[in-house]
């Protein structure tokens, strides 16, 4: 589920939209001054993921969904908070991971999927109006799931990082500077790793990565040297099982902490606080 603010797209009172994935539909649930409404938008098969962003450069927030029939669907905002199914594009087998990023630096959002069952990544290049001009495919590790985009080597271009669930690895694809990507290189990611978050954990100005998975009890923090070379530190989460991970300055002390979920050992929610300044040390809180 995602929640996005479409106030700019609507006249009248402030409005928010919650998008819930159920079977083959995207449900739009609106609340305005205590009144509610619901609209569903149809995809051909079960929806695997959804992200929000301006795909057609009209300053409205659009929706992009991936589905179990190996397709990506673009729903364009009509300017009043309703959406029109604009186009569908075929990607790899099992697009479980989905993100938006301007990979070719042409000031519009492109689409990236991690295709779990074809061990690949699909990059859909947007021509600026919500139409895809080409789809590039890159081989990665075994069973890619969560995928994130960030400038990992500080060259001004967004790179790609993903966790490979069956391959127990973290895969990196560096941007060549034109929206294409260099061959994958990888680091051990832990057993059945499926969650990934990018952020600057050590306050040195570059993007690090944290990964969490279902096969052991460790959160792995990959510290970036600024050129997309990573060293790893392990932190005991106290929980195993498939989970999610987010990062934020929870204590408002200038240091990035992380929060994770696991379905082992009591279906726990874990929070770890960073201490000791720029030296990465986490003190488990819950």
Q: Residue 9: pLDDT band by 50, 70, 90 thresholds?
A: very low
Q: What confidence score (pLDDT) does residue 254 get?
A: 86
Q: What is the pLDDT of residue 95?
A: 96
Q: Which of 67-81, 203-217, 235-249, 267-281 has the highest mean pLDDT?
A: 67-81
pLDDT of residue 30: 53
Mean pLDDT of the residues in the chain: 84
Residue showing tokens 């519009």: 108
Tell which phi-psi region holds residue 128, choosing left (phi > 0), alpha (psi between -120 and 50) or beta: left
Q: Which of 55-64, 131-140, 276-285 has the lowest mean pLDDT?
A: 276-285
Per DSSP, 182 falls in state: P
pLDDT at 54 exceeding the cut of 90: yes
Res 257 pLDDT > 60: yes
The whole-number pLDDT of residue 161 equals 98
Report residue 241: phi and psi, to 5°.
105, 155
**Cα–Cα distance list, 95 to 24, 27, 91 (Å):** 15, 20, 7
What's the pLDDT tens digit per position in 185-200? 999 988 888 889 999 9
Please name which of 163, 154, 159 lies closest in space to residue 176, comparing C-alpha atoms. Answer: 159
Evaluate if residue 11 carries a pLDDT over 50.
no
Range scoring the smallest mean pLDDT among 72-76, 117-121, 146-150, 270-274: 270-274
Report pLDDT for 7: 45
| Predicted pLDDT of residue 280 | 65
Give me the pLDDT at residue 231, please.
95
pTM of the model: 0.87
Measure the CA angle with vertex 208, ends 192 and 111; round to 5°. Answer: 70
Question: What's the pLDDT tens digit per position in 166-189?
Answer: 999 999 999 999 999 999 999 998
What percent of the chain is predicted at pLDDT more than 70? 78
Confidence (pLDDT) at 153: 98
């Amino acid at each position: 589920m995602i929640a996005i603010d479409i106030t700019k797209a609507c006249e009248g009172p402030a409005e928010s939209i919650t998008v819930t994935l159920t079977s083959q539909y995207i449900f739009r649930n609106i609340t305005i001054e205590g009144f509610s409404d619901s609209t569903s938008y149809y995809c051909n098969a079960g929806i695997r993921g959804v992200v929000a962003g301006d795909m057609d450069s009209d300053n409205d927030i659009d929706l992009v969904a991936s589905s179990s029939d190996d397709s990506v669907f673009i729903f364009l905002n009509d300017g009043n908070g309703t959406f029109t199914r604009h186009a569908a594009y075929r990607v790899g087998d099992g697009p479980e991971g989905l993100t938006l990023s301007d990979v070719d630096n042409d000031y519009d959002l492109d689409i990236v999927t991690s295709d779990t069952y074809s061990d690949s990544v699909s990059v859909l290049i947007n021509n600026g109006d919500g139409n895809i001009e080409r789809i590039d495919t890159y081989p990665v590790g075994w069973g890619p799931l969560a995928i994130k985009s960030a400038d990992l080597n500080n060259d001004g271009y967004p790179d790609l990082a993903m966790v490979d669930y069956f391959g127990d690895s973290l895969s990196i694809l560096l941007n060549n500077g034109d929206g294409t990507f260099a061959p994958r290189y990888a680091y051990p990611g832990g057993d059945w790793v499926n969650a990934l978050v990018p952020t600057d954990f050590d306050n040195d100005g570059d993007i690090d990565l944290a990964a969490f998975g279902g096969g052991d009890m460790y959160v792995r923090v990959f510290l970036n040297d600024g050129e997309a070379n990573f060293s790893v530190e392990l932190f005991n989460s106290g929980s195993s099982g498939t989970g999610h991970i987010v990062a934020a300055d929870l204590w408002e002390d200038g240091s990035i902490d992380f929060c994770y979920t696991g379905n082992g050992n009591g279906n726990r929610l874990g929070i770890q606080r960073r201490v000791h300044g720029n030296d990465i040390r986490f003190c488990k809180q819950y």
